Amino acid sequence: MEEDGSALEPCSYAYAVVLKSCIIGGEPYMGKAVHCHALKRGKRLDLFCRNILLDLYVKLGLLVCANMLFEEMPDRNMVSFVSLIQGHMKCGNYADASKLFFGLYREGTSLIESYSLCGLVDDARGVFEAIKGRDIVVWTGMVSCYSENEFADEALLLFSEMMQSGFLPNNYTLSSLLKASVSLSSLKLGKSIHGCAIKCFYESDDYVGGALLDMYAKCGDIEDARLVFNKVSDCGVILWSFMIARYAQSDRNSEALDLFQRMTKSSIVPNEYSFSSILQACANINNLSLGEQVHGHVIKLGLESEIFVANALMDVYAKCSDLDALTKIFSMLCLKNDVSWNTMIVGHVQSGFAEYALQLFRQMRFLNIRSTEVTYSSVLRACASIAAIELAGQIHALVMKTPFNDDNAVSNSLVDSYAKCGNILYPRKVFDLMKEHDVISWNSLISGYAVHGLGIDALSLFRKMIDEGTKANGVTFVGVLSACSNMGLVNEGQHLFSSMTQDYGIEPSMEHYTCMVRLFDALDCLTRQ
């Protein structure tokens, strides 16, 4: 390591290799010289290298240097503690070793939490194993680490071991276990943990209550989620907002609105999460009047510029086709995210302003705003509405360079867009390349064949859809009935219409009746000829 400034500067790894050689060769002062060299150069050695240096000082008897280095280390891990503890034990400094041991115990939970946040589960477990005489805080820290990093089975095994060691769970332990049950999508497990919470008198705890609400709602049991909410003794804004959000996400919009009204009549002041949740309910039912009332409340509390609230307001105005209000909020936002741009695009596509939506997409790309599956699906719908097949092809080329090439929603939009733009070969290619087909995939291609007068292909695809176990819906029958009317297949059309009601329990809509009228008109024309 020359002092010449033109020489390559050694990295932390290079220092580590040299220090390891000093340990093997039993050269403490050479190791110290390497340390001095790093300090002179202003090098900040990483934790791995500092631990090797610590190990060098301990193994080669420079305990004073080891202590100084340990105290100066900005971060430590289990290796740091164990190295120095071993050094003091070797020299008979049992009091100092004992202090370090309790230091490891105190810092242990912090280290577990730090490793958990970084996703270093094995390192966290190493710290956990090094701590003897663990208390409930340490056990809970490790259970939480497993749960947060989606090692649900490990979290449950450790909890079982904890109980066998004689520890009862606290509210944080139970909340972590409830998160694990959500990861496993196990309502049965969640209910058993709920039973444990009742036995330990934590059912009314805010922290456990929120975790129980989340577990029941995500496992599809909204009724039990509400029962838990009602039992929590002093619900704060977080639990109120959480319950409103779960109702809105489950499309139980009247319950969401009732609960929000109860909340505003109480002493609880809604926050941005409360407003974004209730606005979702307003958007779900396309209720512009209610959305405007909530908007007024938002303005009074000065939350209009909060990104989550602004995006939720935009969604209401987009779904209610109030493009002036939508654009006004979008323009007012200082910081716009991909959701803001997508809501603008979706709103304009739905209201028939495809060209402007595509203009927004170009702006989005110019500003390097991240496009998502919602973006691509929406602009492909815009292309379909104005039969812009060349542009649809360009967007398809963009999609192929992204992870959304395998996304079902984007692929379905491609099938629909190409078909409506007048090309039936491309949608079939996209369809055949899809890994999975949902009912929308089948419907898009069946309708495409029907529009292009390929009734036989549409009916053949319909039979294949049924054979593969996909359940037909009302849109499917609009497609096949259109195919029959275009081809004059009266008997086939009548059979399908009867099957729709008798076999599939689908009530005929105006579109189905229109298809049948066209079918009989075609028959009448043939009879006259």
Please write the tens of the pLDDT for every residue from 27-58. Answer: 766 767 777 776 766 666 777 777 787 787 77
CA distance 504 to 1: 80
pLDDT at 167: 92
pLDDT at 346: 97
Residue segments in the chain with a per-residue pLDDT below the cut of 70: 1-16, 28-29, 31, 38, 40-44, 76-78, 94, 97-108, 233, 522-529
The per-residue DSSP string of 293-362 comes to HHHHHHHHTT-TTSHHHHHHHHHHHHHTT-HHHHHHHHHH-SS--HHHHHHHHHHHHHTT-HHHHHHHHH
Question: In a 3-state reduction of DSSP, which class is residue 142?
Answer: helix
pLDDT at 210: 83
- Name the fold adopted by 235-335: 1.25.40
CA distance 484 to 449: 11
Count how many Cα atoms sit within 13 Å of the Cα of residue 433 in the half-sphere of its side chain: 15
pLDDT at 3: 42
* pTM summary value: 0.71
pLDDT at 28: 63
Question: In a 3-state reduction of DSSP, which class is residue 186?
Answer: coil
Contact in structure between 209 and 175 (CB atoms under 8 Å): no
| Residue length of the chain | 529
pLDDT tens digits along 109-140: 777 877 787 788 998 898 888 777 788 888 99
The per-residue DSSP string of 445-489 comes to HHHHHHHTT-HHHHHHHHHHHHHTTPPP-HHHHHHHHHHHHHHT-
CA distance 127 to 110: 10
User: CB 293: neighbour CB atoms within 10 A?
Assistant: 12
User: CB 398: neighbour CB atoms within 10 A?
Assistant: 14
Measured CA distances, 11 to 2, 18, 43, 44, 50 (Å):
14, 11, 8, 9, 13
CA distance 337 to 343: 10
